[in-house]
Amino acid sequence: MSIMKNLVLNFPAQIKEAISIGEAATITSSKAPIHHVLVTGLGGSGIGGTILAEVVAGQCPVPILVNKDYFLPAFVNENTLVVVSSYSGNTEETMEAMQIALTKKAKVVCVTSGGKIAEMARAHELDLIMIPGGMPPRSCLGYSLTQLFYILHGLNLIDASFKKQLQAALTMMESDQEAIQAEAHKLTSFLYQKLPVIYAADGYNGVATRFRQQINENSKMLCWHHILPEMNHNELVGWAEQHPECAVVFLRNDNDYFRTQTRMEISKEIIGQRDAQIHELWSKGDSQLERSLYLIHVTDWASCYIADKKGIDAVEVNVINHLKGALAKL
């Protein structure tokens, strides 16, 4: 089994270890009331912030935003919780954003496996959650995402319900592993040698983004995604022409809002008339967190299986390494 497939197989065990890390973590009280939360991070380290914000949107009393740049919004101040998420601890955009957060006297909590961010956190006596290192950042979502829930819970911004939801997701992924991989194989056959297009209901933007990122990095393919109902107000018109090169995946949930589900059915009809192939991937689980993790696990597997069919290494990211090398010369 390839390195990346072993890492995907280990996703449930990773979450189990991440729970132990989160339970042992110490999150100190903020000196000022928290009025907003900002998760700053990129790629596999940043996507957890988007998923977190959507999962706890109905519970967290303050807004949660995600930052993917060198800079921070002007609202960041002593009333802001800034979660610095960088798996390597050396992401240059995240390091610069962290420096700004410190100058603005925000409450800063770091999640990393080491690097300069860990050094900065210790130097400034910040809350620091260390996660295991030495793996591709995109393969460690279980570690980073889980800590975000524990951080918010530690600051009394969410209750402890996420713990039961994580355990339910673990049980489901472990017991249904064979079926999950079978579902991923179906998805792989559907997407192979096509241009993937991913659609999901609002609330699952993070999951759809994660799927796209895994197709990009593991499968070495271009693809795009959009969210309904927003997609119905613009992108749907783009299907006025025939697109036989596209393979459209709808990420579905039984509890999606009924009008959004109707929009999906009508959209499927319109897209199907444009010679594009359509596949539906239905989630499993009783909570949004459980359903999100199920969809992530299936689509992570699919991204690896596509790499296998193409005869390529899912782990390598030579193009990104080239970019980083060029930037290092500045």
Query: Which residues 6+ apart lie within 8 Å of 252 measured at CB?
Result: 201, 261, 264, 280, 281, 282, 283
94 and 117 in contact (C-beta within 8 Å)? yes
Q: How many CA atoms lie within 13 A of 91 on its CB side?
A: 26
Query: Which residues 6+ apart lie within 8 Å of 102 measured at CB?
Result: 108, 124
102 and 86 in contact (C-beta within 8 Å)? no
Catalytic: 104? no
Query: Which residues 6+ apart lie within 8 Å of 320 measured at CB?
Result: none
| Token pair 């991937």: residue | 281
Residue 102 C-alpha from the chain's centroid: 25
Catalytic: 233? yes
37 and 157 in contact (C-beta within 8 Å)? yes
166 and 19 in contact (C-beta within 8 Å)? yes
142 and 19 in contact (C-beta within 8 Å)? no
Task: Catalytic residue, from 125, 178, 233, 241: name it.
Answer: 233
Task: Catalytic residue, from 217, 220, 284, 290: name it.
Answer: 217
Catalytic: 185? no
Task: Catalytic residue, from 164, 185, 322, 324: name it.
Answer: 324
Query: Which residues 6+ apart lie within 8 Å of 184 measured at CB?
Result: 298, 299, 301, 302, 305
Amino acid at 74: A
141 and 48 in contact (C-beta within 8 Å)? yes
Q: Cα–Cα distance between 210 and 206 in angstroms, integer?
A: 6
Active site residues: 217, 233, 324
